[in-house]
Structure 1
Amino acid sequence: MKSTSVAAVVAAAALSLSACAAGEAAPAADETASAAAAGQFPVTIEHAFGETTIDRAPERVATWGWGSTEAAISVGVFPVAVAEQVWTVGEDNLLPWVEQAYEEAGEELPVVLDDASGGEEVPYEQFAEAAPDLILAPYSGVTQEQYDLLSEIAPVVAYTGDPWTTEWDETIEITSEALGLADQGDQVLADVDEYLAGIKAEHPEFEGKTVAAIVDAPSEGLVYVYNSSDARAGFLEKLGFTTAPAVDELDPTQGKDFFYTLSYEELDKLESDVVVAYTYTEEEAEKLPDSKQLRALPAVKAGMVAQVVGQVPVSSVSPPTALSYDWPEGVPALAEELGKILG
């Protein structure tokens, strides 16, 4: 998740243990310790900066980036410190599905780590004060320098590929494995897969349709496009869609980043059956379908655009996490909207 500029918002807009999900109960407080104690250690996780070995069940976990907080909670481990999500819920606030999970489990709310720059700067002193014995950052943008400094505080688990490109399901896999709870993580993933498979079965019209996921930035005269390496694309493919070939063909980064930009003059090249647009206010959403500039997109011109509207709903699908995959205003609402335009 990046922060307050449109580019930063793009990063943001860059699961029965999954009963922690919206409307369901998280593991009880006394189950948290027993879940961790049941794990198998030592565990060694390979990642972009080498490998990290966790010798024993961690008692104080901190998370950084996106999705690992929810992944930890979904297997019964409640972090003591989590990254701030300023663009979504403001300073010092927790994402609603995260706060709900803590409250339902009777757990003390975590320290919210300052992250006004969307991961570009790391609050080392706050990490040190939280005294974690494990830092989870599998879906983040930590640099080698940041990793090295954080490792002086506690063992750090980073991403396996490039920054901000970890698939949403891999975030759950890495997190649960690092906590010695891989079997529980597998169950969470099975539950999420079952849920998404249910949506896919309800909407056979999604199968094989090509999709492009975008964020419009009219003040900059361009559109942000998520490429196929981004977790949002992977999620849409779980519903039956295929990332439009043009998405990657037009990518000047050649997959080295998880998104790129197109000027309005180039939008006619981005061909797809449907466009998923992430918009942050109702006003923006109302204007988008009739935007002269965006109607250069073939799918928008044909009326084949589905929107996720509002910072929290966008956050719930950007990409989905172990706790937000069934958030009513997120995936279910998007699937309904896509069903209307493709049905």
Structure 2
Amino acid sequence: MRLRRPLIAVAGLAAAALALTACASGTPEESTSASDSAVGTGFPITIEHAFGETVIEAAPERVATWGWGSTEAAISVGVYPVAVAEQSWTVGEGNLLPWVEEAYDAAGVEHPVVINDDEGGATIPYEEFIEAAPDLIVAPYSGLTEEQYDTLSDIAPVVAYPEAPWTTPWDDTISITATALGREAEGEAVLDEIDGYLADEAAKHPEFAGKTFAGIWDGDGLVYVYTGADPRIAILTELGLEVAPSVAELDTSDGGFFYELSYEQLDKLDADFIVNYSNSKEEAEALLTKPETQAIPAVAAGKVAQVYDPVTVSSVSPPTALSFKWEGGMPTLIDSIAGVLAE
């Protein structure tokens, strides 16, 4: 198992376990932060993050999530949030991600309130958070600004990202969320299972070892290149793959998760293969024949693993605690990479 960074400080241990309620309703009067084992321990808990630290005094009963992955992380350890961030690009306004909806239905828990996020976190509908009446807001993988964090903190304690927006490693998203809920042991069990899955896949594909790649999205007149700080890229290194050195050499993001690369510089993006993320199959196929993108050596050589359509792209960008084994996601991407390297 990988060594995980010590991001979380726990302040004190509760003398007795604190119960989480498990009734099903979306109104502030009736708590719905359902849990399957009904126990969170170790409170009060202090979690350090980019904006300071957050103290969670007692086991939360009404959890809200914001950003990406924390909803699934909470569910994976038995807590079903009462309010979750909208994923409008993926599944449209007001809808749940398929693996999230399936989890609520399988548990017999009423669906959560879906909080509007049609601007990708640029604005936050504070009134909707107030109406949801959470006692904890979990957002370890998000784009929160300090101003947004401060305003949300007036509503409920907020767990923000540890370092920079949209760069929290996938495993830290799970462990931070689990610990904030008093379920650190359950979070470790989830991570152990995922570690085992990734180790098994790496063992099945020894040809992945040492192969270099770059993850891209073809834009209008430029290409977006995802850096090694992006969890969708970092997760692939768990399979033995390596981020191409050219990705760092061309990086202008100053620690961000992506940067823009002009068509004039595409010939410098050298890698054994490319992972291309697209809105649709048509866009994915266009990359292979577009004169400008032929400047990328791997594209010219046909060494491209394709990930397209919003739901599939989201399932691996990065994978969450519930989407790792979603058939259209990581399993399909791994097969695609294997096919490209076999050519």
**TM-score scaled by structure 1?**
0.89
Aligned to 2:57: 55
What's the CA shift for 1:32? 4.5
1:38 to 1:178, Cα distance in 2 relative to 1, 3 A: closer
Q: Which residue of 1 aligns with 2:210?
A: 208
What's the counterpart of residue 177 of structure 2? 175
Query: Cα RMSD over matched residues?
Result: 1.3
| Offset, 1:35 | 3.2
What are the ranges of 5 or more consecutive residues in structure 2 without an aligned counterpart?
Answer: 1-21, 24-32
Stretches of structure 1 that go unaligned for 5 or more consecutive residues are 1-28
Alignment map for 1:117-136 (pairs within 5 Å): 117-136=119-138
Q: Which has the higher contact order (CA 8 A, sep 6+)?
A: 1
SS of the equivalent of 1:262 reads: strand
1:33: Cα distance to partner?
Answer: 3.6
Q: For the Cα contact (< 8 Å) 1:248–1:254, is it kept in 2?
A: no
Instruction: Tell me by how many angstroms 1:146 deviates.
Output: 0.5
**Cross-structure match for 2:222:** 222
Aligned to 1:161: 163
What do the CA deviations read for 1:53-92 (whole angstroms, capped 9, x no partner)?
1111100000000000000000000000000011000000
- Aligned residue for 1:260, secondary structure, equals strand
Moved over 6 A (4+): none
Name the residue aligned to 1:5: none
Q: CA deviation at 1:223?
A: 0.4
The answer to whether the 8 Å contact 1:111/1:130 transfers is: yes
Q: Provide the rounded CA distance (Å) in 2 between the counterparts of 1:339 and 1:315.
A: 21
Deviates more, 1:134-143 or 1:196-205: 196-205
SS of the equivalent of 1:112 reads: strand
Q: Which protein shows a greater Rg?
A: 2
Structure 2 CA distance for aligned equivalents of residues 55 and 107 of structure 1: 26
> Which residue of structure 1 lines up, in the alignment, with residue 231 of structure 2?
231
Count residues in correspondence: 312
- Tell me if the contact between 2:35 and 2:80 (Cα under 8 Å) persists in the aligned partners: no
Are residues 120 and 176 of structure 1, via their aligned partners in 2, closer, same or farther at CA, if it must alter by over 3 Å?
same
Is residue 2:102 matched to residue 1:95? Answer: no
Segment drifting more, 154-163 vs 195-204: 195-204
Kindly indicate whether the alpha-carbon contact (under 8 Å) linking 1:36 and 1:181 is maintained by their aligned counterparts in 2.
Answer: no
Equivalent pairs: percent with the same residue? Answer: 61
Q: Could you say if the C-alpha distance between residues 34 and 88 of structure 1 is closer, same or farther in structure 2, counting changes exceeding 3 Å? A: closer
Q: Shift of residue 290 of structure 1?
A: 1.6
Query: CA contact under 8 A between 2:70 and 2:138: conserved in structure 1?
Result: yes
Give CA deviations for 1:306-342 in whole Å, capped at 9, x if unaligned.
Answer: 0012110000000000000111111111111111111
Structure-2 residue corresponding to 1:246: 246
